[in-house]
Structure 1
Amino acid sequence: MAFRGRRVWLWRWRRNPLKRRADALESWVLLAVWAAMVLAGVLTCLTTAGTVERGLARERAEWRPVVALLGDDAPGRAGARTASSNAERVWAEVRWSAPDGSPRSGQARVRPGSPAGTPVTVWTDPEGHLVGRPANPAEAHTRATLVGGLAGLCAAAVPFVAGRALRTRLESRRIEWWGREWARFGPSWGGRPTW
């Protein structure tokens, strides 16, 4: 088991006579990358989550439930009306009136075997187009948090990748420098000692 010694905090920024300019530059690049990752990730997360939540709140305010009538008999057989049958729905043609009074029609999920003329609740936007049920406040908050978190991670990945590329370039330059120094001093080490 190797002895590691005690951990020294902020060792990259401490004075050291063996520290090269490239080491100092790399330490500042690392600090800048971490700061940019945190800043970009948090700002993007908060901005995106707020935008999504405001959009979903606008949908809740603007979208309205409308009673539509089933145009034709729904496909399938009508079964027992139990709580579990709510999940069993089929697509069928429904008709409703837009806010301006014009007739509209579209496809909606209904119970199988429902006869023509059965009232069905559908959601419409201000123009009368068929839309899905808007998210309630809890669903909207969860959705906004997930989308914001994903956007924040993607935004934080940009400075991370740029920092990795820069550190790789610094590392290759450091290896080239070591190679030049070894070529200069290496041959003098190969001789026999003169004591």
Structure 2
Amino acid sequence: MAFRGPKVWLWRWRRNPLKRRADSVEAWVLLAAWAVTVLAGVLAGLTTARTVEQGMARERVEWRPVVALLTEQAPGTADSRARVSSGEQVWAKVRWSARDGSPHTGQARVRPGSGVGTPVTVWTDPRGRMVTQPATPSEAHTRATLVGGLAGVCAACVPFVAGRALRSRLETRRIDRWGYEWARFGPLWGGRTTG
């Protein structure tokens, strides 16, 4: 196990006679990469979360429930309704009128065996198109947090990977330079270096 010695804070920026310009460049590249990674992740996450939450709040304001009527017999039988749990539903074709009076049709979830003309509540957007029920404020907050977190992680990956690639390139260049300097000054030492 190698001895590392005491941990020194900010060692990359301290004065050292053995420190080369490449070491300073690498230190600043690392600092910049971490700063941009954190900044990009936080900004992207917060912006995305706010946008998602505002969009869902707009949906809660604009989307309205409308009473639609079944245009066909729902699959299943009326006796199956007694045996089926209250949460089980089937798809059936329904018809409703938009705010401007234009007729619309679509598929909605209804109880099995429901007859033609049975009223069903569906949600519509301002154009009268069927949409899902809008998210509650707490559901919207949860979704916005999850989407914002994912967007933040994805955005932070870009500068992080770029910083790692640049650091790898600097390290390769530094090792090549060491090899060049060793080849240049090694023979000047004279004598044997191996036993």
CA distance in 1, matches of 2:83, 2:105: 26
Counterpart in the other structure of 2:81: 79
1:45 has 2:45 as partner: yes
Post-superposition shift, 1:187?
Answer: 2.7
Q: How does 1:1-195 map to 2 (within 5 A)?
A: 1-77=1-77, 78-80=80-82, 84-86=85-87, 88-189=88-189, 191-192=191-192
Is the partner of 2:96 in helix, strand or coil?
strand
CA distance in 2, matches of 1:145, 1:38: 17
CA distance in 2, matches of 1:166, 1:188: 34
For residues 113-163 of structure 1, what are the alpha-carbon distances to aligned partners after superposition, in whole Å with 9 as ceiling and x for unaligned? 111111111000011110000000000000111111111111111111111
Judged with a 3 Å threshold, the aligned counterparts in structure 2 of structure 1 residues 192 and 98 are, in CA distance, closer, same or farther, namely closer
Judged with a 3 Å threshold, the aligned counterparts in structure 2 of structure 1 residues 192 and 108 are, in CA distance, closer, same or farther, namely closer
For residues 63-105 of structure 1, what are the alpha-carbon distances to aligned partners after superposition, in whole Å with 9 as ceiling and x for unaligned? 00011111111112332277x431x221110011111112211
Post-superposition shift, 1:184?
Answer: 1.0
Is the partner of 2:81 in helix, strand or coil?
coil
Judged with a 3 Å threshold, the aligned counterparts in structure 2 of structure 1 residues 192 and 97 are, in CA distance, closer, same or farther, namely closer
CA distance in 2, matches of 1:2, 1:186: 26
The residue type paired with residue 82 of structure 2 is A
Judged with a 3 Å threshold, the aligned counterparts in structure 2 of structure 1 residues 58 and 92 are, in CA distance, closer, same or farther, namely same
Query: What's the TM-score, normalizing by structure 1?
Result: 0.92
The residue type paired with residue 89 of structure 2 is R
Structure 2 segments unaligned to the other structure (5+ residues):
none
Query: What's the TM-score, normalizing by structure 2?
Result: 0.92
Structure 1 segments unaligned to the other structure (5+ residues):
none
Is the partner of 2:69 in helix, strand or coil?
strand
The residue type paired with residue 144 of structure 1 is A
Is the partner of 1:80 in helix, strand or coil?
helix
Aligned-residue identity in percent:
76
Judged with a 3 Å threshold, the aligned counterparts in structure 2 of structure 1 residues 192 and 178 are, in CA distance, closer, same or farther, namely closer
CA distance in 2, matches of 1:54, 1:32: 32
